[in-house]
Amino acid sequence: MKIETTVKQIFGIIDKAVRATGKNLSLPVLSCVYMTVDKENGMLKVKSTNLDIGLELSLKVKCEESGVVAVPAQVFLGFLSSIKNDSTLTLALNNGNLSVSTKNNSSVIKCIPSEDFPEIPKVSSGKETTIKPKEFINGIKSVWYSASNSSIKPELSSVYIAPGEQELLFVSTDSFRLAEKKVHYKKPTDFQSILLPSKNIPDIIKIIESYDEEIKISFDKNQVSFTFTDGFLVSRIVEGSFPDYKQIIPKSSDTFVTVLKNDFVSTIRSAQVFSDAFNQVRFKVNPKDRKFTIATKNNDVGEYTEDVPAKIEGEEMEISFNHKYILDCMQSIDSDSLELKLSGAGKPMIIQGAGDKSFSYVVMPMNR
Protein backbone atom coordinates (compact mmCIF):
# COMPACT_ATOMS: atom_id res chain seq x y z
CA MET A 1 0.00 0.00 0.00
CA LYS A 2 1.16 3.48 -0.85
CA ILE A 3 -1.12 6.50 -1.17
CA GLU A 4 -1.11 10.28 -0.98
CA THR A 5 -3.90 12.49 0.36
CA THR A 6 -4.25 15.57 2.58
CA VAL A 7 -4.26 15.61 6.36
CA LYS A 8 -7.68 17.29 6.40
CA GLN A 9 -9.30 14.65 4.22
CA ILE A 10 -7.93 11.60 6.00
CA PHE A 11 -8.50 13.15 9.46
CA GLY A 12 -12.19 13.74 8.67
CA ILE A 13 -12.74 10.08 7.84
CA ILE A 14 -10.65 8.59 10.66
CA ASP A 15 -12.31 10.90 13.21
CA LYS A 16 -15.68 9.40 12.24
CA ALA A 17 -14.35 5.84 12.01
CA VAL A 18 -12.99 5.93 15.56
CA ARG A 19 -16.58 6.28 16.77
CA ALA A 20 -17.40 2.80 15.55
CA THR A 21 -14.34 1.03 16.96
CA GLY A 22 -14.53 -1.15 20.06
CA LYS A 23 -12.47 -2.65 22.85
CA ASN A 24 -12.54 -6.43 22.71
CA LEU A 25 -9.71 -8.36 24.37
CA SER A 26 -10.52 -11.50 22.42
CA LEU A 27 -10.67 -9.60 19.10
CA PRO A 28 -8.16 -6.72 19.26
CA VAL A 29 -8.65 -5.92 15.57
CA LEU A 30 -11.91 -4.19 16.57
CA SER A 31 -9.84 -1.33 18.01
CA CYS A 32 -8.47 -0.70 14.52
CA VAL A 33 -9.62 1.03 11.38
CA TYR A 34 -9.41 -1.37 8.45
CA MET A 35 -8.14 0.36 5.31
CA THR A 36 -8.09 -0.99 1.77
CA VAL A 37 -6.97 0.82 -1.36
CA ASP A 38 -7.38 -0.15 -5.00
CA LYS A 39 -4.82 1.24 -7.44
CA GLU A 40 -7.21 0.84 -10.39
CA ASN A 41 -9.87 3.24 -9.10
CA GLY A 42 -7.75 5.19 -6.61
CA MET A 43 -10.34 4.70 -3.86
CA LEU A 44 -9.43 4.31 -0.20
CA LYS A 45 -12.05 2.48 1.89
CA VAL A 46 -11.99 2.85 5.66
CA LYS A 47 -14.00 0.45 7.83
CA SER A 48 -14.56 0.15 11.57
CA THR A 49 -16.94 -1.77 13.82
CA ASN A 50 -17.59 -2.65 17.46
CA LEU A 51 -20.10 -5.36 16.42
CA ASP A 52 -23.04 -3.12 17.47
CA ILE A 53 -22.43 -0.54 14.77
CA GLY A 54 -20.29 -0.62 11.66
CA LEU A 55 -19.03 2.15 9.39
CA GLU A 56 -17.61 2.17 5.86
CA LEU A 57 -16.38 5.39 4.22
CA SER A 58 -14.60 6.05 0.92
CA LEU A 59 -12.08 8.69 -0.12
CA LYS A 60 -10.51 9.40 -3.51
CA VAL A 61 -6.70 9.36 -3.16
CA LYS A 62 -3.56 9.24 -5.28
CA CYS A 63 -2.57 5.59 -5.21
CA GLU A 64 0.76 4.05 -6.17
CA GLU A 65 0.25 0.58 -4.66
CA SER A 66 -2.88 -1.33 -3.59
CA GLY A 67 -3.01 -2.86 -0.13
CA VAL A 68 -4.81 -3.68 3.11
CA VAL A 69 -3.97 -2.69 6.68
CA ALA A 70 -5.59 -2.67 10.14
CA VAL A 71 -4.13 0.24 12.10
CA PRO A 72 -4.93 1.06 15.77
CA ALA A 73 -7.51 3.83 15.48
CA GLN A 74 -6.64 5.98 18.49
CA VAL A 75 -2.92 6.00 17.70
CA PHE A 76 -3.55 6.94 14.07
CA LEU A 77 -6.03 9.67 14.99
CA GLY A 78 -3.67 11.00 17.68
CA PHE A 79 -0.87 11.41 15.17
CA LEU A 80 -3.14 13.08 12.60
CA SER A 81 -4.52 15.54 15.18
CA SER A 82 -0.99 16.59 16.13
CA ILE A 83 -0.23 17.86 12.61
CA LYS A 84 -0.84 21.60 12.57
CA ASN A 85 -1.16 22.26 8.84
CA ASP A 86 -3.13 20.72 5.99
CA SER A 87 -0.14 19.28 4.21
CA THR A 88 0.08 16.30 1.89
CA LEU A 89 0.20 12.99 3.73
CA THR A 90 1.83 9.79 2.52
CA LEU A 91 0.75 6.40 3.84
CA ALA A 92 2.84 3.35 3.05
CA LEU A 93 2.81 -0.22 4.32
CA ASN A 94 6.29 -1.49 5.27
CA ASN A 95 6.88 -4.91 6.86
CA GLY A 96 3.31 -5.02 8.18
CA ASN A 97 3.47 -1.58 9.80
CA LEU A 98 2.06 1.74 8.57
CA SER A 99 4.48 4.53 7.72
CA VAL A 100 2.80 7.95 7.92
CA SER A 101 4.66 11.04 6.80
CA THR A 102 4.29 14.67 5.79
CA LYS A 103 6.95 17.23 4.85
CA ASN A 104 7.80 17.83 8.52
CA ASN A 105 6.38 14.81 10.38
CA SER A 106 6.75 11.07 10.20
CA SER A 107 5.80 8.05 12.25
CA VAL A 108 5.65 4.28 12.04
CA ILE A 109 2.53 2.73 13.58
CA LYS A 110 2.54 -0.93 14.55
CA CYS A 111 -0.43 -2.65 12.95
CA ILE A 112 -2.50 -5.74 13.71
CA PRO A 113 -3.04 -8.64 11.26
CA SER A 114 -6.13 -7.71 9.28
CA GLU A 115 -7.41 -11.22 8.52
CA ASP A 116 -9.70 -11.31 11.58
CA PHE A 117 -11.51 -8.05 10.79
CA PRO A 118 -15.25 -8.92 10.50
CA GLU A 119 -17.33 -8.18 7.43
CA ILE A 120 -19.62 -5.18 7.86
CA PRO A 121 -23.14 -6.23 6.78
CA LYS A 122 -25.12 -4.31 4.20
CA VAL A 123 -28.89 -3.87 4.30
CA SER A 124 -30.56 -4.78 1.02
CA SER A 125 -34.20 -5.55 1.85
CA GLY A 126 -35.65 -2.85 -0.40
CA LYS A 127 -37.37 -1.02 2.49
CA GLU A 128 -35.93 2.47 2.61
CA THR A 129 -36.62 6.16 2.99
CA THR A 130 -34.68 9.44 3.09
CA ILE A 131 -34.49 12.14 5.72
CA LYS A 132 -32.38 15.20 6.51
CA PRO A 133 -29.77 14.42 9.18
CA LYS A 134 -30.79 17.44 11.30
CA GLU A 135 -34.38 16.22 11.49
CA PHE A 136 -33.37 12.71 12.49
CA ILE A 137 -30.89 13.97 15.09
CA ASN A 138 -33.48 16.39 16.49
CA GLY A 139 -35.92 13.52 17.00
CA ILE A 140 -33.32 11.27 18.64
CA LYS A 141 -31.85 13.94 20.93
CA SER A 142 -35.30 14.99 22.11
CA VAL A 143 -36.07 11.63 23.69
CA TRP A 144 -33.14 9.26 24.13
CA TYR A 145 -32.23 10.39 27.68
CA SER A 146 -35.53 8.82 28.82
CA ALA A 147 -34.48 5.32 27.79
CA SER A 148 -33.61 2.84 30.53
CA ASN A 149 -29.97 2.34 31.50
CA SER A 150 -30.65 -1.31 32.30
CA SER A 151 -30.30 -4.08 29.72
CA ILE A 152 -32.84 -6.33 31.46
CA LYS A 153 -35.58 -5.13 29.11
CA PRO A 154 -33.83 -4.25 25.82
CA GLU A 155 -36.96 -2.62 24.40
CA LEU A 156 -36.84 -0.04 27.23
CA SER A 157 -33.14 0.68 26.67
CA SER A 158 -33.95 1.70 23.09
CA VAL A 159 -35.51 4.55 21.15
CA TYR A 160 -38.68 3.57 19.34
CA ILE A 161 -38.94 5.16 15.89
CA ALA A 162 -42.19 4.75 13.98
CA PRO A 163 -44.11 6.42 11.14
CA GLY A 164 -47.10 8.61 11.89
CA GLU A 165 -49.56 10.22 9.49
CA GLN A 166 -47.28 13.08 8.47
CA GLU A 167 -44.46 12.68 10.95
CA LEU A 168 -41.92 10.33 12.40
CA LEU A 169 -42.41 9.46 16.04
CA PHE A 170 -39.42 9.15 18.36
CA VAL A 171 -40.25 7.68 21.77
CA SER A 172 -38.35 6.36 24.77
CA THR A 173 -39.28 5.37 28.31
CA ASP A 174 -37.75 3.77 31.39
CA SER A 175 -41.25 3.24 32.90
CA PHE A 176 -40.82 6.24 35.25
CA ARG A 177 -40.98 8.88 32.52
CA LEU A 178 -41.65 8.94 28.78
CA ALA A 179 -40.59 11.33 26.02
CA GLU A 180 -42.27 11.59 22.62
CA LYS A 181 -41.09 13.80 19.74
CA LYS A 182 -42.97 14.25 16.46
CA VAL A 183 -40.81 15.30 13.50
CA HIS A 184 -42.84 16.60 10.56
CA TYR A 185 -42.34 14.35 7.57
CA LYS A 186 -44.31 14.59 4.32
CA LYS A 187 -42.61 12.06 2.09
CA PRO A 188 -44.34 8.77 1.30
CA THR A 189 -42.30 6.15 3.07
CA ASP A 190 -41.77 2.49 3.75
CA PHE A 191 -40.36 3.41 7.16
CA GLN A 192 -40.92 0.48 9.46
CA SER A 193 -41.03 0.73 13.24
CA ILE A 194 -37.64 0.04 14.78
CA LEU A 195 -36.02 -0.08 18.21
CA LEU A 196 -32.62 1.61 18.06
CA PRO A 197 -30.35 0.68 21.03
CA SER A 198 -29.73 3.78 23.11
CA LYS A 199 -26.07 2.89 23.69
CA ASN A 200 -25.44 3.20 19.93
CA ILE A 201 -27.08 6.62 19.66
CA PRO A 202 -24.23 8.97 20.76
CA ASP A 203 -21.91 7.50 18.12
CA ILE A 204 -24.61 7.51 15.44
CA ILE A 205 -25.29 11.19 16.12
CA LYS A 206 -21.60 12.13 15.99
CA ILE A 207 -21.14 10.35 12.68
CA ILE A 208 -24.19 11.62 10.79
CA GLU A 209 -24.30 15.20 12.15
CA SER A 210 -21.51 16.29 9.79
CA TYR A 211 -23.71 15.65 6.74
CA ASP A 212 -26.06 18.27 5.29
CA GLU A 213 -27.59 16.37 2.37
CA GLU A 214 -30.40 13.85 2.87
CA ILE A 215 -29.35 10.41 4.02
CA LYS A 216 -30.97 7.14 2.99
CA ILE A 217 -32.27 4.86 5.74
CA SER A 218 -32.67 1.17 4.91
CA PHE A 219 -34.08 -1.63 7.04
CA ASP A 220 -34.18 -5.34 7.45
CA LYS A 221 -35.17 -7.60 10.34
CA ASN A 222 -32.01 -7.17 12.38
CA GLN A 223 -30.40 -3.90 11.37
CA VAL A 224 -30.78 -0.40 10.01
CA SER A 225 -28.31 1.45 7.79
CA PHE A 226 -27.72 5.12 7.03
CA THR A 227 -26.21 5.78 3.60
CA PHE A 228 -24.28 8.98 2.79
CA THR A 229 -22.50 10.22 -0.31
CA ASP A 230 -19.20 8.68 0.85
CA GLY A 231 -20.33 5.50 2.61
CA PHE A 232 -22.73 4.01 5.11
CA LEU A 233 -23.30 3.33 8.80
CA VAL A 234 -25.11 0.21 10.02
CA SER A 235 -26.53 -0.48 13.48
CA ARG A 236 -28.20 -3.50 14.96
CA ILE A 237 -31.79 -3.04 16.07
CA VAL A 238 -33.54 -4.62 19.04
CA GLU A 239 -36.00 -7.42 18.50
CA GLY A 240 -39.20 -7.11 20.47
CA SER A 241 -42.23 -4.90 20.91
CA PHE A 242 -42.26 -1.43 22.39
CA PRO A 243 -44.94 -0.94 25.08
CA ASP A 244 -48.28 0.54 24.01
CA TYR A 245 -47.24 3.85 25.48
CA LYS A 246 -50.39 5.72 24.44
CA GLN A 247 -52.20 3.90 27.25
CA ILE A 248 -50.23 5.70 29.97
CA ILE A 249 -50.71 9.22 28.61
CA PRO A 250 -53.66 10.83 30.42
CA LYS A 251 -56.55 11.57 28.08
CA SER A 252 -57.68 14.55 30.19
CA SER A 253 -56.29 16.77 32.93
CA ASP A 254 -57.79 18.44 35.99
CA THR A 255 -55.25 21.20 36.54
CA PHE A 256 -53.27 23.35 34.10
CA VAL A 257 -50.23 25.46 34.99
CA THR A 258 -48.55 27.78 32.48
CA VAL A 259 -45.17 29.09 33.63
CA LEU A 260 -42.11 30.74 32.10
CA LYS A 261 -39.49 28.10 31.41
CA ASN A 262 -36.62 30.12 32.89
CA ASP A 263 -38.55 30.79 36.12
CA PHE A 264 -39.52 27.14 36.46
CA VAL A 265 -36.02 25.77 35.79
CA SER A 266 -34.39 28.31 38.12
CA THR A 267 -36.72 27.37 40.96
CA ILE A 268 -36.24 23.64 40.47
CA ARG A 269 -32.46 24.07 40.54
CA SER A 270 -32.64 26.10 43.73
CA ALA A 271 -34.99 23.60 45.32
CA GLN A 272 -32.91 20.56 44.44
CA VAL A 273 -30.20 21.66 46.89
CA PHE A 274 -32.63 20.77 49.69
CA SER A 275 -34.16 17.65 48.15
CA ASP A 276 -34.02 14.30 49.91
CA ALA A 277 -32.26 11.09 48.85
CA PHE A 278 -35.11 10.39 46.42
CA ASN A 279 -34.70 13.75 44.61
CA GLN A 280 -38.24 14.63 45.63
CA VAL A 281 -39.72 18.04 44.82
CA ARG A 282 -43.27 18.96 45.74
CA PHE A 283 -45.72 20.99 43.64
CA LYS A 284 -48.54 22.80 45.39
CA VAL A 285 -51.13 24.27 43.04
CA ASN A 286 -53.73 26.63 44.53
CA PRO A 287 -55.98 28.15 41.83
CA LYS A 288 -58.02 30.10 44.40
CA ASP A 289 -55.00 32.05 45.66
CA ARG A 290 -53.32 31.90 42.23
CA LYS A 291 -50.25 30.27 43.71
CA PHE A 292 -47.92 27.67 42.24
CA THR A 293 -45.47 26.66 44.95
CA ILE A 294 -42.42 24.43 44.62
CA ALA A 295 -41.01 23.01 47.85
CA THR A 296 -38.34 20.54 49.01
CA LYS A 297 -37.30 19.23 52.40
CA ASN A 298 -34.34 17.27 53.67
CA ASN A 299 -34.16 16.52 57.41
CA ASP A 300 -30.35 16.65 57.29
CA VAL A 301 -30.05 19.83 55.23
CA GLY A 302 -33.14 22.00 55.60
CA GLU A 303 -36.07 23.02 53.46
CA TYR A 304 -36.89 25.37 50.59
CA THR A 305 -40.10 26.96 49.31
CA GLU A 306 -40.70 29.33 46.41
CA ASP A 307 -43.82 30.70 44.73
CA VAL A 308 -43.44 30.74 40.95
CA PRO A 309 -45.46 33.25 38.87
CA ALA A 310 -47.90 31.18 36.82
CA LYS A 311 -51.28 31.06 35.16
CA ILE A 312 -53.40 28.39 36.85
CA GLU A 313 -56.64 26.71 35.85
CA GLY A 314 -58.51 23.82 37.41
CA GLU A 315 -58.44 22.11 40.77
CA GLU A 316 -56.21 22.49 43.82
CA MET A 317 -53.49 19.86 43.91
CA GLU A 318 -50.39 18.75 45.79
CA ILE A 319 -48.06 16.19 44.19
CA SER A 320 -44.37 15.19 44.18
CA PHE A 321 -41.94 14.37 41.37
CA ASN A 322 -38.29 13.48 40.85
CA HIS A 323 -36.63 16.80 40.01
CA LYS A 324 -33.94 15.13 37.89
CA TYR A 325 -36.56 13.67 35.57
CA ILE A 326 -38.19 17.06 35.18
CA LEU A 327 -34.96 18.92 34.40
CA ASP A 328 -33.91 16.28 31.85
CA CYS A 329 -36.69 17.20 29.44
CA MET A 330 -35.97 20.94 29.39
CA GLN A 331 -33.33 20.43 26.69
CA SER A 332 -36.09 19.26 24.34
CA ILE A 333 -38.35 22.30 24.75
CA ASP A 334 -37.62 25.48 22.78
CA SER A 335 -40.67 27.47 23.90
CA ASP A 336 -40.28 30.30 26.39
CA SER A 337 -43.25 29.00 28.41
CA LEU A 338 -44.23 25.56 29.67
CA GLU A 339 -47.60 23.90 30.07
CA LEU A 340 -47.91 21.49 33.00
CA LYS A 341 -50.97 19.24 32.86
CA LEU A 342 -51.87 17.49 36.12
CA SER A 343 -54.48 14.76 36.49
CA GLY A 344 -54.56 14.16 40.24
CA ALA A 345 -52.72 12.25 42.96
CA GLY A 346 -50.95 9.15 41.73
CA LYS A 347 -51.37 10.10 38.08
CA PRO A 348 -48.65 11.27 35.66
CA MET A 349 -47.98 14.87 34.67
CA ILE A 350 -47.58 15.99 31.06
CA ILE A 351 -45.04 18.71 30.22
CA GLN A 352 -45.15 20.51 26.86
CA GLY A 353 -43.88 23.73 25.42
CA ALA A 354 -46.59 26.39 25.19
CA GLY A 355 -47.92 26.37 21.65
CA ASP A 356 -45.76 23.41 20.61
CA LYS A 357 -47.34 19.97 20.68
CA SER A 358 -44.50 18.26 18.80
CA PHE A 359 -42.87 17.24 22.09
CA SER A 360 -44.61 15.64 25.07
CA TYR A 361 -43.04 14.46 28.30
CA VAL A 362 -44.87 12.27 30.76
CA VAL A 363 -43.45 11.83 34.26
CA MET A 364 -44.82 9.61 37.00
CA PRO A 365 -45.40 11.09 40.49
CA MET A 366 -43.64 9.94 43.63
CA ASN A 367 -45.22 8.58 46.78
CA ARG A 368 -44.78 10.62 49.92
User: What is the average pLDDT across 238-247?
Assistant: 92
* pLDDT score for 221: 82
Neighbours of 76 (CB within 10 A): 24
* pLDDT score for 189: 58
The per-residue pLDDT of the chain, averaged, comes to 92
Q: In this model, does residue 366 exceed pLDDT 70?
A: yes
Q: Read off the pLDDT band of 191 (50, 70, 90).
A: confident
Instruction: Report the percent of the chain where pLDDT is more than 90.
Output: 80
Q: In this model, does residue 188 exceed pLDDT 60?
A: no
Q: Read off the pLDDT band of 126 (50, 70, 90).
A: low
* pLDDT score for 97: 93
HEC readout, the chain: CEEEEEHHHHHHHHHHHHCCCCCCCCCHHHHEEEEEEECCCCEEEEEEECCCEEEEEEEECEEEECEEEEEEHHHHHHHHHHCCCCCEEEEEEECCEEEEECCCCEEEECCECHHHCCCCCCCCCCEEEEECHHHHHHHHHHHHHHCCCCCCCHHHHEEEEEECCCEEEEEEECCCEEEEEEEECCCCCCCCCEEEEHHHHHHHHHHHCCCCCCEEEEECCCEEEEEECCEEEEEECCCCCCCCHHHHCCCCCCEEEEEEHHHHHHHHHHHHHHCCCCCEEEEEEECCCCEEEEEEEECCCEEEEEECCEEEEECCEEEEEEHHHHHHHHHHCCCCEEEEEECCCCCCEEEEECCEEEEEEEECCECC
User: What residues contact 315, with CB distance under 8 A and at least 6 apart?
Assistant: 254, 255, 287, 344
User: What is the average pLDDT across 343-360?
Assistant: 94
Q: Which domains are delineated in the chain? A: 2-116 (3.10.150.10), 130-240 (3.10.150.10), 249-363 (3.10.150.10)
* pLDDT score for 169: 93
Q: In this model, does residue 91 exceed pLDDT 90?
A: yes
User: What is the average pLDDT across 182-188?
Assistant: 77
User: What is the average pLDDT across 265-293?
Assistant: 95
Q: In this model, does residue 220 exceed pLDDT 90?
A: no
Q: Read off the pLDDT band of 184 (50, 70, 90).
A: confident
* pLDDT score for 2: 93
